[in-house]
Chain A
């Protein structure tokens, strides 16, 4: 069963704040839920399906359905790390196509900055990782999150000659976009020199190769074609979805590619398009290396050529070859609760509705992609690719 054209994104909402010391996690879920429903011109009573991941408090959909007052015929708590919400769009489209629901709500929210400042529970400790089967073999060596991505970057450099300066171009493009986003946490344009001269966090990655840490969240409303037709709002058509898990392969991990090598072709095939057809791309940017490897794996350039591809403003809207993360991405704008998948879909929806910031709006944007990389480039990841089009595409 293909989901091509079987579902539409009718509502998308990004929480406007980046530091939220005065809310509970459930409250922020509720704020983004109401925001996305208002954007779709729908009400909480219209929702018959709810999707969330492990950022939702309590017993996920049970706690949140209770809090929000939802009456549900379909729930899904697929957890693939920060890409979960992209997977949720695909699964919502499948559920709608199967007839089990017609209005699906997806929410993400979290308060890592607030937790850091107030010692609230909410972040996973080393103790959590020691309870996983792999944890006791991975969590004892001081390998930080940045360090695991640095291992991928170092190997990519070793095999393909990728440089720190090339990685820096990914950040430069994000900062170019962020200057036009008044909500961006880091709105200042940076240069390649500023990136490579920022302090080394885990060699070869620097402070400016990292995404931001923000409180906040976002929500999406995915609806059936019948519901979409009745809505005044311009909707976005779901054209294709692919998901994959790449892991350590029993100890034969290859750090030079991501699960996008599998999720991308699945999504493109379902949509009936090729990478060259994409007008705008939201590409998961936990770190600059995440973008660089993903661009290769999705087929925007050959393997190993990502470092060359990102030069010369290729990622910069509106005129680059592949305008990418025009909201400033996770690198500069927002990466709520260390999970960037939701904001990736939201900016793709803005582009297809011609509602991005005017300076970065891609002219005649007809086909957009949102790609998520949850987990870690250095161990195991959940990859998800979504192809979206204009309502009448």
Chain B
């Protein structure tokens, strides 16, 4: 969990989403999965929108995904007004769901549909963190 260059507004956890947000403080992305049909659910909720079961549990996601779609915001609003240009994207997680997020850690115009990305957490200062993504670390960089 690091401090972000972008604004990092705090979420408003509910009894339904408290576990998700608590885990972000430890740098873990919990995903809800239906125990009846196996569906990985997004956004987090206590009911499965695929089979209507309320037997939903959490598991830790891999934090890996690819960019499903991307936009560079040039006119920000509210807390983001002074942060342009920045990237908003849907990232398709390896587990299936497409999640709305920011892609950080590279120039905005370098982000491409289909690009591999990995999870990073930005501290909100309120006891939790905002999941964002950055270009995936390439193994050849290790060598």
Contact = CB atoms under 8 A, between A and B. Distances in A.
**Same complex origin of A and B:** yes
Given A155-B113, A253-B90, A142 B80 contact: yes
Interface in A230-255: 248-253, 255
Contacts of B98: 248, 251-253
A137 B77 contact: no
B71 A154 contact: yes
Interface string A240-273: 0000000011111101000000000000000000
B6 interface: yes
B127 interface: no
A307 B97 CA distance: 28
A200 B13 CA distance: 34
A138 B17 CA distance: 14
B50 interface: yes
A143 B90 CA distance: 11
B69 A200 contact: no
Contacts of A150: 71
Main SS of chain B's interface residues? loop
Assign chain B's interface to a size class: 35 or more
Interface string B96-135: 1111111000000000011000000000000000101000
Contact of B77 (A144, A152, A204, A255): A144
B102 A136 contact: no
A137 B17 CA distance: 10
Interface stretch (A29-37, A126-134, A346-354, A356-364): A126-134
Q: Chain A interface secondary structure, helix, strand, loop or mixed?
A: mixed
A190 to B, nearest CB: 19
A304 to B, nearest CB: 15
Interface of B: 6-14, 16-17, 39-45, 48-50, 68-80, 83, 86, 88-90, 96-102, 113-114, 130, 132
Interface of A: 126, 130-131, 133-138, 140-144, 146-147, 150-152, 154-155, 158, 199-205, 248-253, 255, 379
Given A130-B11, A142-B86, 17 more contacts: A137-B44, A140-B9, A141-B101, A142-B6, A143-B88, A144-B76, A147-B73, A154-B69, A155-B113, A201-B74, A248-B43, A250-B50, A251-B40, A251-B96, A251-B97, A251-B98, A255-B90
